[in-house]
Amino acid sequence: SGAEVIRLDVGPARLYDVSWRPDGSELAVSGADGVAIVVAAATGARRHTLTGHGGTVNGVSYRGDGAQLLTACNDGRARIYD
């Protein structure tokens, strides 16, 4: 229909990437503030805040089975979260 289903207001920083968890239950969002967040796809409620990145989080990607989340940061590091 083209109707907006949900709007994610995740913070003041520029967003760089969004990834659906394969089962559709969550979205991971990365941004310029050095944080990646995981939200419930149905409601937008924040489930996890992934900190400790040394700069902009440029990308997020779920493993094919959804068991882990990979973040890529401009500090030259990739991190994997359960």
Nearest-angstrom CA–CA distance, 59 and 73:
7
* pLDDT tens-digit series, residues 24-75: 999 999 999 999 999 999 999 999 999 989 999 999 999 999 999 999 999 9
Looking at residue 69, what is its pLDDT?
98
Instruction: Evaluate whether 33 touches 13 at the Cβ level (below 8 Å).
Output: yes
The secondary structure of residue 44, as a DSSP letter, is -
pLDDT band at 13 (very low <50, low <70, confident <90, very high): confident
Q: Residue 39: its pLDDT value, please?
A: 95
Higher pLDDT, 18 or 9: 18
